[in-house]
Amino acid sequence: MADTGAEVPRLAGGPAGWVSILIPAALFAWFAQFLGPVAAGEVLLIGFDWVPSLDIRLEMMVDGLSLTFALLITGIGTLVTLYSTSYLGAHPEYPRFVLYLMAFMVGMLGLVLSDNLIALFVFWEVTTISSYLLIGFTSDSAKSRRSALQALLVTGTGGLALLAGMILLGQAAGTFSLSEILTMGDAIRGHAHYDAILVLFLAGAFTKSAQFPFHFWLPNAMAAPTPVSAYLHSATMVKGGVYLMARMTPTLGGTEPWFWALIIAGGFTTVFASVLSIRQTDIKQVLAYTTLMALGALTLFIGVGTSAAIKAAMVFLVVHSFYKAALFLMIGIVDHEAGTREVGDLRGLALKMPVTFFAGALAAISMAGIPPFFGFIGKEFLYDAGLEAETARIWITGTIFAASVLMFVAAGIAVARPFLGKLPERFKDTHEGPWTMWMGPFLLGALSLFFGIYPDIPEVWMVGPATDAVYGSDVDVDLYLFHGINAAFILSMITFAVGLVLYLAHQRLRDGLARIIAANPIKFDPGWDRTLDGLRAIAEWQTRHLQSGILTRYIFITFATFAVAMAVTLWWQDVLNFRLDVANELEGLLFKHWAVLLFITAGAILAALTRSRMTAIAALGVVGIGVALIFIMFSAPDVAITQLLVETLVVVLVAVAMLKLPHLHVRTAEPHRPHHALLAVAVGTVTTLVMVAVLQGNLDLRLTEYFNETAYYEAYGSNIVNVILVDFRALDTFGEIAVVVIAALSAYALLRGTRYGTIREDGEALRDTVDDAVLPDPAARSADGEGRA
Amino acid sequence: MELLVAIMVGVLVAASVHLMLARNVLRFIFGLVLISNAANLIIFASGRLTPESPPLIAEGETTPALDAANALPQALVLTAIVIGFGLFAFALTLVYRAYQNLGTLNSDEMRVAEPQAQKPSTAGQVAEKQYIARDADA
């Protein structure tokens, strides 16, 4: 499959092009060596310790499912990179493109090979981010940027949900190793968190695989260069979600919620997308919607979960990867050579581009499900599994029938329309694309035919082992082209008949659909814009209210948050459940205690309510001295001395500042503020309650005892408070001095500034009138002065 | 006594919150002084109140008396008082300086950094414009 064409000396794209082809080709060859052991039923674990402390091991688990994906990723990757050398090789940013594509490939390989859930998530996000860069590769186009961002936000949000789900799953299972989790399905399904895990995993898978209602990003992602679409939307990116669902089937699957979630989302996406695909006029968009359809069908059949359904899903997975990649690449060649992808413009290119036509036709026949192609086998298996389903048989079969018919039509639109018919004048000079471009679709189309004729090959090496891995036990997979005239065969024949009729009428069908869709009020893409606008509006509203620029409002919000948080915590912790021993509390209370308490309380209330500056200063002084008295009465002489000094300085400084400041009532008369008063009382009450709760608790005296015992022996001091400050916690004290020095320097700088011009109350400018000496640099003078022995 | 101190601290905090919510930044400063005192009292009281037995080691002894007061919160409070004072001195200077430049103590009118469409007072507006003009000159 990996024909890199070494005999061609020059390759567009230069060294970057060679590197981009050789890496996936080499990886493909490396993975191919595992085909034998895996087909024999082995599960290989290859890895090393990554973050041992968190028990995260980077380990590759190579089983049938991951190997099938790995081969598709590297194989189709080789063809796509070969194709890109011609498609984008001349682009000035081509090396950047190669870098993104390689990053994406690494992410995708890691995603399907990781044995560790966390590693899987990391790679999952690597694909999200690199696909963002790839979809937005033509970054000068606003449409491209929007599509990239949309894909990033949708899949990234799903990725976060997935992370949460993985952590829950890891906790439920007690391990993050997939190979271990896969063996404990019953325990997980019976776990209390099963529903939450399921919802979170499906959120990740549905966004990644674009299941309804998260489907809208995928058609938009067609803004990407065609090789990217061919790669991301055939075998890789969007199949990531399918991989996850398939991988989790043994662990999470088989339950009612799993079944219905997947059946409904998958079935709806299938029908919805196949109808919309007919509506499109851009052939790339037609293919994008059929990709949605395929993803829906895969989801649907993984959801059904019977051995036949899993088998059908795995066959269809491989079938779809081949023909979809081929068709995307084909339309890319047409676009590259003819300059348009519009179905209405393209006609009769078959003679001008014979190889491309041939390759596209092979893929399209496979897509339409016509024998003897691989696609026919895929369709037959889907029908078989649908008809065998025990629940919702009509829904499943009907879905697949509708999808197959419309796929037939879409295949016709994608290939018959542009290549057949009379060649218009404008395409006279159109010619075949280079071999590097048609090689990919040609090989993939040929393989679609080859696998249809020799179905044993994919059966033994890919589909069989993959089905075993998903189903969890050996499944008898026997692919065959013709299995007699049975219900599935008859359905196939009806499919072709209806498909042919619809293809002939597809233009009328498209116009009708366009009218219906135009009348439909629910639109996802504008809805997405509205959602983003809404988010922006909420952010603006919140900023306007939280960041109002009004100081009092900031302080209000801060204190209100404090009060609510404290009150909720108190209630939550149930710490207010105590009995107060009032008699004990009042015992031994002397007159001096009462006097101090009353003084401080009165001082505080007075300071809060007075309109006079002098009264306020005096009240502050009363409070400060009262606090100092409390320190004295309760055995803290050093603290009391400091408090007295500081309090004196505070009052002096305020008094000095008053000389230069207006009266409290001047032009800042406070309006009546009942809500402020209410908040003040609330904060005060909460503080009291917290304090009471703290005082009810046990006091941990270990540190105090340590200081008491070691103060004399280790620090040779007998004043324990001083010893703590200058010895045990000397570094803290040093920091404290630094704070005071910085405050002093800042205050000094502020006061220096006043020399250069001031503004009086009436707004008139004055120059050089304020003498620094009026307000002596307060902190500088006091910082060291208040010393504490 | 602890319970009564707790109630008193509640009153102190309520008073200081009310002051700090005022538009006049001088009142805010008063609130700052009060709330520092309240915080210091909380730390002090949470180490329990012990009357008349300071944490000192008597002459000739190697450990303090058994019923000595808890030294640790005292050391913490001492640090807190000094830092609180540094903060207060700086805030007061800031208020003084703001008044010198803006001609107002009303925090709603101090809108140089976050200008609003409608200004609450013309005096503030004039002051602001001059302040900005002077900045531009410098």
Task: Reduce the secondary structure of B18-41 to three states and give it as a string.
Answer: HHHCCCEHHHHHHHHHHHHHHHHH
**What average pLDDT does chain A have?**
83
Contact B38, B9 (CB under 8 A): yes
With a cut of 70, say whether residue B129 has pLDDT above it. Answer: no
pLDDT at B122: 57
The one-character DSSP state at A671 is P
**A-chain residue closest to B36, CA distance:** A624
Which candidate from A684, A754, A759 shows the least CB-CB separation from B10?
A684
- Distance in angstroms (rounded) separating the CA atoms of residues A661 and A617: 14
- Tens-place pLDDT, residues A419-456: 888 888 777 777 788 888 888 888 888 888 888 888 88
Tokens representing residue A95 in the block: 């090396």
- In the predicted model, what is the mean pLDDT of chain B? 83
Nearest of A11, A150, A28 to residue A94 by alpha carbon = A11
Distance CA A267, CA A261 (A): 10
| Contact state of B103 with A759 under an 8 Å Cβ cutoff | yes
Burial A756-778 (b: 16+ CB within 10 A, else e): ebbbeeebeeeeeebeeeebebb
Segment A67-87 shows an average pLDDT of: 90
Lowest mean pLDDT among A559-573, A627-641, A741-755, B61-75: A741-755
pLDDT at A125: 93
pLDDT at residue A521, as a whole number: 67
pLDDT tens digit string along A596-638? 999 999 999 999 888 888 888 899 999 999 999 999 999 899 9
Lowest mean pLDDT among A236-245, A582-591, B86-95: A582-591
Candidates A356, A381, A326, A437; CA nearest to A85 is A437
Give mean pLDDT, residues A631-655. 91
Q: What pLDDT is recorded for position A26?
A: 92
According to DSSP, residue A215 is labeled T
Contact B89 A744 (CB under 8 A): yes
Burial A459-480 (b: 16+ CB within 10 A, else e): bebbbbbbbbbbbbeebebebe
Q: Where does the pLDDT of residue A765 fall: very low under 50, low under 70, confident under 90, or very high at 90 and above? A: very low
pLDDT of A766: 46
Determine the residue among A651, A661, A729 to mutate to test chain B binding: the one whose Cβ has the most chain B Cβ atoms within 10 Å.
Answer: A661
Q: Which two tokens stand for residue A263?
A: 């059946």
Please give the torsion angle defined by the CA atoms of residues A206, A210, A211 and A214, in that order, rounded to the nearest 10 degrees.
90
Would you say residue B138 has pLDDT above 60?
A: no
- Please count the residue pairs, one from chain A and one from chain B, whose beta carbons lie less than 8 angstroms apart: 334
Residue position matching structure tokens 């002098």: A614
Q: Are A604 and A619 in contact (CB under 8 A)?
A: yes
d(Cα A273, Cα A241) in Å, to the nearest integer?
Answer: 17
Long-range Cβ contact pairs of A773-778 (< 8 A, separation 24 or more): A774/A656, A774/A659, A774/A660, A775/A656, A775/A657, A775/A660, A775/A751, A775/B93, A775/B96, A776/A656, A777/A744, A777/A747, A777/A748, A777/A751, A778/A649, A778/A653, A778/A656, A778/A744, A778/A747, A778/B89, A778/B92, A778/B93
Q: Which of A556, A642, A667 sits opposite B106 (nearest CB)?
A: A667
* Residue A247, pLDDT above cutoff 60: yes
Checking if the pLDDT of B117 tops 60, the result is no
Task: State how far the Cα of A753 lies from the Cα of B7, in Å rounded to an integer.
Answer: 43
The pLDDT of residue A782: 42
A617 neighbors A647 (Cβ within 8 angstroms): no
Widest distance between CA atoms in chain A? 113
Q: A11 falls in which pLDDT band (50, 70, 90)? A: low
Buried b (16+ CB within 10 A) or exposed e, A390-411: eebeebbbebbbbbbbbbbbbb
Give the confidence band of A90 by pLDDT, cuts at 50, 70, 90.
Answer: confident
**Mutation target vs A (from B67, B79, B121, B128; most A CBs, 10 A cutoff):** B79
Q: Positive or negative, the Cα torsion across A326, A331, A334, A335?
A: negative
β-partners of residue A331 are none
For B86, what's the count of Cα atoms within 13 Å in the CB-facing half-sphere? Answer: 22
Nearest to A717 by CA among A729, A704, A708: A708
Partner-chain contact A664 B18, CB within 8 Å: no
For A638, the closest of B33, B46, B74 (CB atoms) is: B74
Please tell me which residue of chain A has the smallest CA distance to B15.
A608
User: What pLDDT does B42 receive?
Assistant: 94
Contact B104 A668 (CB under 8 A): yes
Most confident option among A33-47, A541-555, A707-721: A707-721
pLDDT at A482: 67
Distance of residue B94 Cα from the nearest chain A Cα, in angstroms: 7
**Facing B93 at nearest CB: one of A607, A709, A751:** A751
**Is residue B71 over pLDDT 60?**
yes
Summarize the confidence of residues A241-257 as an average pLDDT.
88
Question: Would you say residue A733 has pLDDT above 70?
Answer: yes
Contact residues, chain B, for A641 at CB < 8 Å: none
Taken in order A168, A169, A170, A172, the sign of the CA dihedral is: positive
Of A101-105, A274-278, A608-612, A663-667, minimum mean pLDDT range: A663-667
Taking the C-alpha atoms of residue A478 and residue A313, their distance in angstroms, rounded to an integer, is: 14
d(CA A460, CA A347): 41
Contacts of A761 in chain B (CB under 8 A): 103-104, 123
Q: Which of A609, A613, A632, A635 to mutate to test the interface with B (most CBs of B within 10 A)?
A: A635
Interchain CB distance below 8 Å, A646 and B81: yes
Per-residue pLDDT tens over the stretch A346-360: 888 888 888 888 888
Q: Which residues of B touch A636 (CB under 8 A)?
A: 44, 54, 69, 74, 77
Q: Which of A549, A684, A701 sits opposite B114 (nearest CB)?
A: A549
> Residue A767: pLDDT band by 50, 70, 90 thresholds?
very low
**Cβ contact, residue pair A646, B85, below 8 Å:** yes
Residue type, A453: I
Query: Quick check: B95 and A559 CB within 8 A?
Result: no
Provide ipTM, 2 decimals: 0.84
- A58 bridge partner residues: A48
Of B21, B93, B116, the CB nearest to A676: B21
Q: Beta A56-62 vs A758-759: how paired, if at all?
A: unpaired
Residue A702 CB coordination number (10 Å): 7
> What is the band of A773 on the pLDDT scale with cuts at 50, 70, 90?
very low
Q: Which residue of B has its CA nearest to A762?
A: B123
pLDDT for res A10: 58
Both tokens assigned to A327: 């068709």
Q: How near does any CA of chain B get to the CA of A534, in Å?
A: 25
Yes or no, beta carbons of B83 and A552 under 8 Å apart? no
